[in-house]
Structure formats: structure tokens, C-alpha cells
Amino acid sequence: MKKILVLGACGQIGTELVLTLRQLKGEESVIAADLKNECPEIINNGPYIQLDALDKQSIRTYIIDNNIKEVYLLAALLSATAEKNPEFAWKLNMEGLFIILDLAKEKHIDKIFWPSSIAVFGPTTPMDQTPQHTIMEPTTVYGISKQAGERWCEYYNLKFGVDVRSIRYPGLISYKSLPGGGTTDYAVDIFYKAKENKKFNCFLKEDTALPMMFMDDAIRATIELMDAPIENVKIKSSYNLAGISFTPAVLAKAIQKVIPDFEIEYHPDFRQAIADSWPNSIDDSMSKKHWGWEPKFDLDGMVHVMLENL
Ligand code: NAD
Ligand code: AKB
């Protein structure tokens, strides 16, 4: 049976991706791997192995010995954490990718999913409805690593025929797992604080618009892209993907429709500069055209599901 490895499985995306993949492809076919050993919902629900994405030899041996044919590589440092440790962020985000790309180049792996981000864009990028192909001059170490990763994915495809598929995720919003150190994390934390004490201190300014997406849409997009016929996957670097764009003030208003006495204050910190360098909204017409992408969640729908389930 074809086996799938999700590396970085205990994080915000991995937790939900593993659970969905196991439902779709069978529990025993989807192996979760992470440096951490503390994600019971994943560990108790199917095969799990502790693996370091930078440990080339162990990954190689595990993938070859266990007949892994598909890898979702999610281990990375996100934007805010990466700014605090740029050298390590570069190492993890790039070396981890090369280990997997090289295994595919040697034909041990058939297909790779590697996520990019809206962080590939920078202050010189057109900010509204940012096109697929545009100026990309990221100013964060995270964005630089994602942009370089995109170039390497395309290079491995062109030179060695590696089937690597990628999405430039917007900020992801989920209730099953917490975010891991990004600039868009406020849009998850706000729901916890709204439920806990109806007050939230936002680390971004009220009018900072960013592209966002509810996790269910992101997981569906990921699996739809991975299941798409190869001839439909025409962009070999990474696809723009859009869901909902909003500012903290607009999100707070949507929450107040459900919790009328919810209050928000704004105390911008170093993440404001990161957010200012990213687009307000994304044009994902290529994803729609090539592999039929269509988001399902709007702002009110997402707010409703978040507040219901937290
Ligand atoms: P996360 O920080 O929540 O999870 C990352 C996981 O990787 C963690 O469980 C961590 O323990 C694990 N990890 C870290 N170093 C590791 C190592 N050396 N070996 C094995 N595991 C290791 O991140 P996430 O939000 O789930 O993001 C996953 C991927 O998607 C990343 O590449 C990220 O850049 C990308 N992405 C995420 C978002 C988002 O909003 N969540 C948006 C755009 C792109
Ligand atoms: C972050 O804020 O770093 C991530 C991302 C948009 O890549 N959520």
C-alpha cells in the first residue's frame, strides 16, 4: 500500500491534515512525524514516529524502509519566530526541503507537498488582489526562505521531473490546533480571548488587512491540489490561494455580532512591520482555473464555526 508521511505533523496544519488524510486514505497509510512527542490526538489515532526534519540519514532510512511515496513537509519556523532566530530559520526551512527534494530526485518519493506563504511577497508587491506572477521582494527571513524554496521546487521539477506541489497559504484560522509563531496568529488568539474574558489586546493595528483562510478550506485545497491530475498542476513553484481578507477591526465587529460586549485594544509590536510588508488580498484565479479551487467559508461563517467549537 502507498504510504504517506506528514513531517511536522503536530503543528497547526499537521494536526488537521493528518486527521483528514487518515479518514480519506486509511489510518495505517498516514504516518505522522514530528520532533515533538506531545500531540495525543495524532499519536493515539494512527502511526507516529519522532523524527527530526534535519536528520538526513534517519529520514532517508525511514522513507526507504517504509515505502513512503508521498511526503507533506510542514516542519518550519514561521514568520515571527524566524525573525528571532534567522540563521536557524534559514537552516530548518531550506535544509529540510532539500532532504525531501533529493529523495524524490532519487525516485524514492513520488510526490511532495511543500507549503509556501503569502510571506513571499514584500513591500514592493502590489498589495490588493496580488497576482500570481508579480514583484516578490520579501523582507523577512521567513519570506526569503519561502521564496527560495519555491524557486528550488520549480528547479527540481524542471531539471529532475520531481512532482512537488505547493500553495502560498494565507494566515490560517483553526480551533483544533494552535498556531505556531506567525504574524497572523492574532486571528486565532482573538477567539480564545473573546470566549475567555471578552477582551483582546491585538498586536496589529486595527486597519491592517491580511489574507486569511479557515483551516477546513486550507486542508481541502491541499488535498485537492495533491489529488489533481499532474497535467492540471501547471505552476511548479507555488499557487496563490485566497479565502477571506479582513482587518482586526472588521474581525472584531464580526465577533461582536455574536458576543456584543467583546472589546478589542490595539498595541502593535514588531509583527506590525511584517504584516505591513504583506498583501491585503490575493488573486487566486490560477488555482481556480487550473485545479478547480473554490473557497467555502466567508467571514461570518468562519466566526460562527470558531465560536461554536472553541
Ligand atoms: P507550526 O509551527 O504550527 O507546526 C510546525 C511543526 O513542525 C511543529 O509541530 C513542530 O514541532 C514541527 N517541527 C519543527 N521543527 C521540526 C524538526 N526539525 N523536525 C520535525 N518537526 C519539526 O506550523 P504550521 O502553521 O502547521 O505550518 C506548517 C507549514 O505551513 C510551514 O511550512 C508554514 O510555513 C506553512 N504555512 C503556515 C501558515 C499558517 O497560517 N499556519 C501559513 C502559510 C504557510
Ligand atoms: C505567519 O504568519 O507566519 C504564517 C504565514 C502567513 O505564513 N501564518
Query: Tens digit of pLDDT for each residue in 252-298?
Result: 999 999 999 999 999 999 999 999 999 999 999 999 999 999 999 99
For residue 100, which amino acid is it?
I
Among 195, 225, 240, give the residue marking a domain's end.
Answer: 240
Amino acid, res. 74: L
Per the structure, the complete domain to which residue 236 belongs is given by 3-170+214-240
Same domain, 142 and 201: no
Q: How many domains does the chain have?
A: 2
103 and 90 within one domain: yes
| In a shared domain, residues 108 and 186 | no
Domain co-membership, 76 together with 186: no
Claim to verify: residue 122 and residue 141 sit in the same structural domain: yes
In a 10 Å sphere around its CB, with 0-12 CB exposed, 13-18 middle and 19+ buried, how is residue 133 labelled? exposed
pLDDT of 1 higher than 80 = no
Residue among 278, 295, 66, 303 at smallest CA distance from 183: 278
Mutation probe of ligand 1 site: the residue of 34, 56, 284 with most atoms within 8 A of C-beta: 34
Q: Distance between CA atoms of 8 and 78, rounded to whole angstroms? A: 12
Q: Residue 217's pLDDT is what?
A: 98
Q: Are residues 207 and 218 in the same domain?
A: no
- What pLDDT score was predicted for residue 170? 98
Asked if 13 and 74 touch (Cβ cutoff 8 Å), the reply is: yes
Do residue 101 and residue 156 come from a single domain?
A: yes
Provide the whole-model pTM: 0.98
Beta-bridge partner residues of 213? 172
Dist. CA 10 → ligand 1 center (Å)? 8
Ligand 1 atom at minimal distance to the Cα of residue 171 = 40
Could you tell me if the CB of 5 is within 6 A of ligand 1? no
Q: Is the distance from the beta carbon of residue 73 to the nearest atom of ligand 1 less than 6 Å?
A: no
Q: What rounded mean pLDDT belongs to the chain?
A: 97
* Residue 66 alpha carbon to ligand 2 centre in Å: 32
142 noted as active-site residue: yes
At how many degrees (to 10) do helices 86-105 and 56-65 cross? 30
Provide the CATH number for the domain around residue 38. 3.40.50.720
Q: Which ligand is nearest to the CA of 149?
A: 1
Average pLDDT over every residue of 81-96: 98
Task: Examine the domain organization and report whether 177 and 100 are in the same domain.
Answer: no
225 and 87 share one domain = yes
Could you tell me if residue 292 is left (phi over 0), alpha (psi between -120 and 50 degrees) or otherwise beta?
A: left
pLDDT at 174: 98
Ligand nearest to the CA of 96: 1
Return phi, psi of residue 267, to 5°. -135, 80
Return the SS3 of 260.
coil
pLDDT of residue 228: 98
Q: How far is the CA of 261 from the centre of ligand 1 (A)?
A: 34
